Copies of this chain bind each other. A is one copy, B any other.
Amino acid sequence: MASPSRVETIANDTKEASDVGGVAGVRLKQLVERIERLEEEKASIGTDIKDVYGEAKSTGFDVKTIRKLIRLRKMDEQKRNEEDELLDLYRAAIGL
């Protein structure tokens, strides 16, 4: 059911409908595969993160607390970024 022809069929049903087995189908397939590849990587890193939390836990740390910690640090960073942006805005406003 998820045969290659299926992917091409889909390409045909989109904008390039007259392009049976042609360049649009190939292009779409490439795009789909790139996305799936990237999502795999992303999921893999997600697993790594989980592992680190697991390691933290088995070292005796409280996972929930660590999560809070990280959230706080991220918020701090965002806050800093916003302040920087504001500064840039001001600098632009007065012409550098």
A residues neighboring B (CB under 8 Å) = 1-2, 6-7, 9-11, 13-17, 24, 27-28, 31-32, 34-36, 38-39, 41-42, 45-46, 48-49, 52-53, 55-56, 59-62, 64-66, 68-73, 75-76, 78-79, 82-83, 85-86, 89-90, 93-94
> If A32-B73, A72-B82, A78-B75 touch, does A14 touch B64 (CB 8 Å cutoff)?
no
A49–B45 CA distance with the chains assembled, in angstroms: 14
> If A72-B79, A79-B79, A94-B15 touch, does A31 touch B10 (CB 8 Å cutoff)?
no
Q: Which one, B24, B34, B60, B79, contacts A75 given CB within 8 A?
A: B79
A69–B17 CA distance with the chains assembled, in angstroms: 12
> If A15-B94, A49-B42 touch, does A65 touch B10 (CB 8 Å cutoff)?
yes
When distances are taken between beta carbons in the complex, the residues of chain B under 8 Å from A53 are 35
